[in-house]
A and B are shown apart, each in its own frame.
Chain A
Amino acid sequence: MGEFQVKKQTKKYDAVIVGSGAGGGMAAYMLSKAGLKVCLVEAGYMYDPQKNITQLKNPWDSPRRGASTTNRPFGDFDACYGGWSLEGEPFTKEKGTDWSWWRARMLGGRTNHWGRISLRFGPKDFKRRSIDGLGDDWPIGYEDVKPYYDRVDKLIGVFGTNEGLENDPDGYFLRPPKPRLHELFIKNAAGQAGVKVIPARLSILTEKIDSTTERGACFFCGQCNRNCSVAKADFSASNVLIYPALKTNNVDIVANAMVREVLTDKEGLATGVSYINKEDMTEYQVSGRVVIVAASACESARLLLNSKSDRHPNGLANSSDVVGKYLHDSTGAALGGILPQLFDRKRYNEDGVGGMHIYSPWWLDNKKLDFPRGYHVEYWGGMSQPSYGFSWGIEELNGKYVVKGKKKEAGGYGASLKEDYRYFFGCGVGMAGRGEAVPVETNYCSIDPDMVDKFGIPVLKFNVKWSEHEIKQAKHMKDTFKEVMHNMGAIITWGGDDDASNNYGLAKPGEIIHEAGTVRMGSDPKKSALNKFSQAHDCKNLFCVDGGQFVSQADKNITWTILALSMRASEYIVEEMKKNNL
């Protein structure tokens, strides 16, 4: 595949795409299938899930037994290379504000390890301002995106069930897996608390899918975060979009290429991008009829803000001055504990799919609550593969609970201790909320005037704070989780003591890794960077197809909507090119 050695690539592409995750991967797939010549530029390493394999490894295959490293914070076996801090690529924060920034640096980006939670936005999610007066409505509605959600369902595959819920729309679902034992307990306990529980919706093929013969069905190893090298049964941009796109021979991939700037001509139109090749540290340029940025919400904003010219003195697509603003993440709060009824449980393989088999979509009406937006609940527990940290802190358990009919002293050693580890294996349970934050103009990232990274590219400075809306929502999460835990007789061992002093355990902004809002779309060019087709108001051949374009991100993981919007923007590009508008 095409790795360039020339400074100025003479080949003129139809599209240059920056970033190869869900947004960039889908654009590369759609445009190459339509016959366009695509150059896909990725800041990280080349990656081939068929060759680079961590799936089905045993814990002892890692000398640190799956513990995390700087570039694999989710552990040695996790497929995503990147992390919370990258060598030579700093960022800064305004004093008194917070932002944790996850950056993937590999082909396919974070789709290689994500939780595969694939939720459509509902009709209300596009029109929040009309409902609660906060934030802004999208310039499009559910009916505009629905056809693309339908096609993404069929192309990529997602399991779930049609429940006829108003704001959690039905789709084209594969069969979900049956709940695990602890999930049956959760379902009953949540039900008693009035919390609705339905089958999870994850982009994992529990059955073969009609759209392709290249992918197999899930064989239930529970390791989607390692990416499904064996069967390609889960969605990753690499396995499902980019490698199939390469087969068209219309795509060249340039990996290890950090894009510095989007280039524009005298008329202010995009002509391509300049990038630094991280292997030889040489500067290159590549040109295309359209430029599509999909580098992640914050990296895309950074790129646009750094692309200044006479025609675009405030950065590209930024005459509105909104680029970088309205930055928001999902909210998150969690707690966990143990289920005494699972002590000394029978052993069997309950790996299941790589994630929860059930979840709770938002079940309440915010008009009756003291916070404006909802959240969904994710659950976990049971017998999973031991890794670093396994059975840490047994001294907190084995003195409190009678083991095999014997009251024991906490701690200990020897054969009696080995009995305890066996006795408590698989009794864990936990839950986490993922909620919608209200995007505001005062939460933003901008270019730090004083600092560049090792490539000489000016870095981002973050300025984000949670508001009362998010903190009250976190309190509600914790209250709900405690009730669910109580109802099933679980004992909370962590996350149960949060209070106002720590925002009820609300995760810091950025920690949930759902960054969005920085290049938002809208009808008014003065208040938005993009139009409703993800196209820049100020530069008609520039598009942004990642989380940057989101006006708000609902209480739904954003990947499925990124895919749908990228598919939609890609078709628009093809049509506009046919009409010679691009």
Chain B
Amino acid sequence: MDRRKSLKLIATGIIATPVVIAGCKTDDTKAKAEEPKFSLDRNPDELKYEKELLAKENFFTGHEMATITILADIIIPKDDVSGNASDAKVPEFISFIVKDMPNHEVPMRGGLRWLDMQSLKRYDKSFMDCSHDQQIELVDMIAYPDKAKPGMKQGVAFFNLMRNLTATGFYTSEIGVKDIGYTGNKPTQWNGVPDDVLQQYKVAYTEKELKECVSFEKTN
């Protein structure tokens, strides 16, 4: 692709973006009208900080958020156990966490732009405008650190971050916690490792442990 053409396409991308931003801004104005809610118990000065953070304008443009959403749903799609990243509001989480942790700003913004550049070179389109097959073709070039081509390493670093943020956002959501099978965070009686698991791993409690440890009537 000749350089002039690609520059033109970038320009188109940039011009296209404000439309989406404008759409976002309407939402922002609406959000600003009402005080943001922060449900965790906080001291007065940290509550002030939290509310300011929540009210702060989004870091990402609409174009960037749309790309993040596509990538997140490629990383965590719906399967027979649970829904996809969007179902778990992962894009919203990423939007917040980048405001909260500004160290993610440059790798994310730069990575998204890097991805669009690659997409532009290959398909004459930004990543979000590519077909699903084209998106997957590009993702395949950066999703596997050990086999990615040397020229794609920056993309690998970006995709690793994207994968990490997506997974953390997903598995700390209600859908994700259920998916991963974490069953705690509720009152229970710890009676030791279940018998079938002890047998599976061929371990057992000693007489001393059974005698001295707290135990509860087994309920089946």
Contacts and interface: CB of A to CB of B under 8 A. Distances in A.
B194 A348 contact: yes
B39 interface: yes
A348 B209 CA distance: 21
Interface in B162-190: 163-164, 167-169, 171-174, 176-177, 179-190
B214 A387 contact: no
B100 A395 contact: no
Interface in A175-226: 175-181, 184-185, 188, 199, 206-207, 219-223
B168 A414 contact: no
Contacts of A526: none
A523 B160 CA distance: 60
Contact of A346 (B43, B46, B196): B196
A350 B214 contact: no
B172 A65 contact: yes
B213 A178 contact: yes
A346 B190 contact: no
B149 to A, nearest CB: 14
Interface stretch (A54-62, A435-443, A456-464, A572-580): A54-62
A452 interface: no
Contacts of A394: 163-164, 167
Contacts of A275: none
Given A178-B191, A184-B193, A412-B143, A61 B39 contact: yes
Contacts of A389: 168
Contacts of A161: 212
Interface stretch (A66-74, A469-477, A514-522): A66-74
Contacts of A399: 146
A220 B145 contact: no
A385 B190 contact: no
A11 interface: no
Contacts of B75: 413-414, 417
A385 B182 contact: yes
A164 interface: no
B159 A411 contact: yes
B68 interface: no
B175 to A, nearest CB: 9
A111 to B, nearest CB: 17
Nearest to A414: B77
Interface size class of A (residues with CB under 8 A): 35 or more
Nearest to A229: B41
Given A352-B190, A394-B163, A181 B43 contact: no
A422 B145 contact: no
Contacts of A249: none
Interface string A36-56: 000000000100000111101
B203 A184 contact: yes
A64 interface: yes
Contacts of A221: 184-188
A386 B188 contact: no
A425 interface: yes
Contacts of B188: 219-221, 349, 351
Interface in A410-455: 410-415, 417-418, 421-422, 425
Contact of A421 (B46, B93, B167): B167
A180 to B, nearest CB: 7
Nearest to A391: B167
B21 to A, nearest CB: 22
Contacts of B143: 411-413
Given A61-B39, A176-B213, A414-B75, A392 B193 contact: no
A383 interface: yes
A175 B191 CA distance: 12
A411 B100 contact: no
B33 interface: no
B74 interface: yes
Nearest to A393: B164
B101 interface: yes
A395 B40 contact: no
Contacts of B183: 347-349
A8 to B, nearest CB: 27
Given A390-B167, A394-B167, A385 B185 contact: yes
B26 interface: no
A76 interface: yes
A9 interface: no
Contact of A177 (B145, B156, B213): B213
A168 to B, nearest CB: 16
B79 interface: yes
Given A61-B39, A221-B185, A409 B144 contact: yes
A406 to B, nearest CB: 15
Contact of A383 (B82, B97, B184, B203): B184
Contacts of A375: none
A97 interface: no
B108 interface: no
Most buried by A among B146, B177, B184, B205: B184
B81 interface: yes
A418 B40 contact: no
A366 interface: no
A130 interface: no
B187 A54 contact: no
B197 interface: yes
Contacts of B163: 394-395, 411, 413, 417
B192 interface: yes
A346 B195 CA distance: 12
B200 interface: yes
B171 A421 contact: yes
B40 A350 contact: no
B184 A178 contact: no
Contacts of B209: 178-179, 199
Given A66-B172, A350-B193, A418 B79 contact: yes
B117 interface: no
Interface string A144-176: 000000000000000101000000000000111
Interface string A81-114: 1000000000000000000000000100000000
27 contacts: A54-B41, A60-B174, A63-B38, A63-B50, A63-B54, A64-B100, A67-B100, A76-B40, A159-B214, A184-B203, A348-B197, A349-B186, A353-B190, A385-B177, A385-B182, A390-B172, A391-B168, A393-B160, A394-B163, A409-B144, A413-B74, A413-B75, A413-B163, A417-B75, A417-B76, A418-B79, A422-B180
Given A58-B177, A63-B54, A199-B209, 8 more contacts: A63-B96, A65-B97, A65-B169, A71-B46, A179-B193, A384-B184, A418-B76, A418-B79
The 8 A-B residue pairs whose C-beta atoms are closest, nearest first, are: A178-B192, A219-B187, A59-B172, A351-B184, A347-B181, A175-B214, A65-B172, A220-B190
Interface of A: 45, 51-54, 56-67, 69, 71-72, 76-77, 81, 106, 159, 161, 174-181, 184-185, 188, 199, 206-207, 219-223, 230, 341, 345-353, 383-395, 399, 409-415, 417-418, 421-422, 425
Interface of B: 38-41, 43-44, 46, 49-50, 54, 74-77, 79, 81-82, 93, 96-97, 100-101, 139, 143-147, 156, 159-160, 163-164, 167-169, 171-174, 176-177, 179-194, 196-197, 200-201, 203, 205, 209, 212-215
